[in-house]
Amino acid sequence: MREIRYRTIAEDLRRRLREGELVAGRLLPSESELSASYAASRVTVRKALELLREEGLIDSRQGFGWFVAADPVRQTLGRLGTIEAQLAASGIRSERRVLSFGFVPAPPRAAEVLGVDTVLEVRRMNLADDEPFALVTVWCPEELGARLSRDDVERSPFYELLDVPLGGAVQTIGAAAAGPEEARLLGVPPGSPVLHVERVTSNPDGVAVLLSEHVYPAHRTEFVVDLPATPPSMAVTGLRLVE
């Protein structure tokens, strides 16, 4: 009976996937929730889930549970650019939704990096094919952000809006755990793994003009770096231990 039951559950989950009820990258209900909804044991539910994983339809990660299989959003490091441009090149539709926009006293890190007391602070959620994949907060000196509107930053990247030439950026990537608000917006469990990125963008004279923080769900994101062979060392540069 259990043999038939788990296949029935698997077939119903396949139907929900086909009909778009369960979409790529999104988490499935927990095993306990599925057990309750199908009136089946967790052992039976897990067997159905394992069958769908073997078929490549779903996957699981420690700290996330089960989710609909999807290609991760890949970002290539090594040149200054926007994720929107990279997504478009991959045929993925991107969208940014502004969560807050306003001039505020510079938070300590923004004051340290940008050397100003007041900044334009923009919080937004980035989506790929209608699914959230990043929470981004950008700080810009008041002088540079004075002519920008909420519509401007929702429509275009800061790199296209700033009236200053850009010289490059330093990007720092680390691992973190999703806080309650981040988890709610990204659709992941609180405490689940996320990638935390800080980017400092400067003008050609090395003066910082933008500070941004990006939070990505770890199961949907990959960073790709080309490492050309440069004798005599093949070591990756830019790594440091966090104290």
- The residues, any chain, with a CB within 8 Å of residue 152's CB and separated by 6 or more, are 161
What pLDDT digit, counting tens, does each position of 215-228 carry? 988 877 777 777 67
21-35, 75-89, 126-140 — most confident range: 126-140
Q: How far apart are CA 218 and CA 16, in angstroms?
A: 25
Q: How far apart are CA 55 and CA 66, in angstroms?
A: 14
Q: What is the pLDDT of residue 82?
A: 65
What pLDDT digit, counting tens, does each position of 95-143 carry? 889 999 999 999 999 999 999 999 999 999 988 877 888 899 999 999 9
Q: Compute CA distances 156 → 141, 197, 221, whole Å.
A: 18, 20, 22
- The residues, any chain, with a CB within 8 Å of residue 43's CB and separated by 6 or more, are 2
Query: Is this structure's pTM higher than 0.85?
Result: no
Q: What is the pLDDT of residue 96?
A: 87
Residues of the chain with CATH 3.40.1410.10: 73-225
Lowest mean per-residue pLDDT among 65-74, 118-127, 140-149, 175-184: 65-74
Whether the upstream peptide bond of residue 232 has omega within 30° of 0, thus cis, is yes
2-68: CATH architecture: Orthogonal Bundle (1.10)
User: Which residues does residue 65 pair with via DSSP β-bridges, in sequence order?
Assistant: 61
Q: Which residues of 189-215 are buried (b: 16+ CB within 10 A; e: fewer)?
A: eeebbbbbbebbbbeeeeebbbbbbbb
Domain 73-225 has CATH 3.30.70.260: no
Q: How far apart are CA 176 and CA 216, in angstroms?
A: 10
Residues of the chain with CATH 1.10.10.10: 2-68
